[in-house]
């Protein structure tokens, strides 16, 4: 008679989060972005038991703490690590302000080749963006006519406005991501058949082409062009941007670093900073080799 193989479910008293944390340690060490569902699957495979989502989440947090240190202790260790980093790399710039309570979100800057500035903040508020942009302007932006591309979130606009003259023209030109404009347009008018058309208007390179398509959109419904007209053309249309976008129409260029920093945001603060530092350093090395190869092949860069 064949045996019946069943998987238990519930709250196994001997299968606590500490036991599970030890069992999944190799997986977390290999990939700190390990999904909770993967923890549940691993426990099923090893112990023939299905644990709850909460227990799996606690086990993963426990495992991260065992490998990378506790979250509270990590904040205490951060200044020491920053000091060591700056001693090793004198050109590095670190500025941090502590708060009694935090959540943790990160912002990044990108110079079209490699990420060069990061900020870890409570959340994406006007104060947080002001902190980031102020330090970016002070330590990274060394010349005028810089293009700043973002979505139209009020927190970013407010931070640019209160920058005490650091970001307005001619020092910098604030422009908007065409994909975010497209998304907001669709949300307002529920017209998916116009999504591509609105994006294409942004990408048009000549004023003549822009005027033709703008008029066509107006003929469909004047409300469409009234909506776009509330946004300065130089902030979303390539034909009017003055060349400050360098043909970058979206904020997608920062997506290229997502794979580089995969899983880092799940770590305690010092481990997060270390992971960011070492992974970006690896990216710098890779990009330098690519640029040297192109220069040796006769490519000219401006």
> Considering the domain boundaries, does residue 2 fall inside one?
no
How many domains in the chain? 3
If asked whether residues 270 and 154 sit together in one domain, one would say: yes
Q: Three-class SS string for the chain?
A: CCCCCCCEECCCCCCCHHHHHHHHHHHHHHCCCCCHHHHHHHHHHHHCEECCHHHHHHHHHHHHHHHHCCHHHHHHHHHHHHHHHHHHCCCCCCCCCCCCCCCCEEEEEECCCCEEEEEEECCCCHHHHHHHHHHHHHHCCCCCCEEEEECCCHHHHHHHHCCCCCCCCCCEEEEECHHHHHHHHHHHHCCHHHHHHHHHHHHCCCHHHHHHHHHHHHHHCHHHHHHHHCCCHHHCCHHHCCCCCCCCCCCHHHHHHCCCCCCHHHCCHHHHHHHHHHHHHHHHHHHHHHHHHHHHCCCCCC
130 and 271 assigned to the same domain: yes
Q: pLDDT at position 110, please? A: 43
Residue 220 domain boundaries: 178-247
Q: What pLDDT, in 10s, does the model give residues 62-115?
A: 888 888 777 677 767 777 777 887 887 777 777 766 554 434 444 444 433 456
Same domain, 79 and 150: yes
State pLDDT tens for residues 192-221: 999 899 999 999 989 999 999 999 999 999
pLDDT of res. 183 = 92
Domain membership of residue 99 (yes or no) is yes
Question: Tell me, what's the pLDDT at 296?
Answer: 84
Q: Is residue 81 part of a domain?
A: yes
259 shares a domain with 241: no
Last residue of a domain, one of 232, 247, 262: 247
Report the share of the chain in percent with pLDDT over 70.
81
Mean pLDDT, the chain, whole residue set: 80
Does residue 3 belong to any structural domain of this protein? no
1 is a domain residue: no
State yes or no: pLDDT of 235 exceeds 70: yes
The model's pTM is 0.58
299/297 Cα distance (integer angstroms): 6
């Amino acid at each position: 008679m064949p045996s019946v193989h069943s998987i238990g479910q519930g709250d196994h008293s001997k299968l606590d989060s500490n036991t599970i944390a030890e069992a999944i340690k190799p997986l977390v060490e290999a990939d700190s972005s390990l999904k909770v569902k993967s923890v549940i699957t691993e426990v099923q495979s090893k112990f023939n038991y299905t644990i709850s989502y909460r227990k799996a989440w606690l086990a993963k947090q426990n495992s991260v703490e065992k490998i990378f240190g506790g979250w509270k202790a990590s904040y205490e260790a951060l200044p020491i690590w920053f000091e060591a980093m700056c001693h090793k790399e004198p050109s590095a710039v670190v500025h941090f302000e502590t708060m009694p309570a935090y959540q943790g979100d990160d912002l990044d800057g990108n110079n079209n080749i490699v990420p060069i500035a990061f900020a870890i903040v409570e959340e994406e508020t006007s104060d947080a963006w002001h902190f980031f942009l102020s330090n970016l302007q002070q330590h990274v932006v060394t010349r005028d006519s810089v293009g700043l591309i973002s979505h139209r979130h009020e927190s970013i606009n407010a931070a640019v406005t209160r920058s005490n003259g650091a970001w307005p023209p001619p020092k910098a030109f604030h422009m908007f991501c065409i994909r975010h404009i497209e998304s907001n347009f669709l949300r307002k008018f529920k017209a998916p058949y116009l999504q591509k058309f609105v994006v294409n208007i942004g990408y048009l390179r000549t004023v003549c082409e822009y005027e033709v398509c703008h008029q066509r959109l107006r003929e469909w419904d004047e409300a469409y062009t009234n909506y776009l007209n509330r946004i300065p053309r130089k902030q979303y249309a390539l034909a009017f941007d003055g060349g400050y976008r360098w043909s970058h129409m979206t904020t997608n260029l920062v997506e290229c670093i997502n794979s580089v920093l995969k899983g880092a945001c799940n770590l305690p603060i010092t481990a997060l900073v270390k992971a960011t530092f070492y992974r970006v350093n690896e990216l710098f090395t890779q990009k330098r080799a690519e640029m040297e190869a192109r220069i040796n092949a006769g490519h000219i860069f401006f």
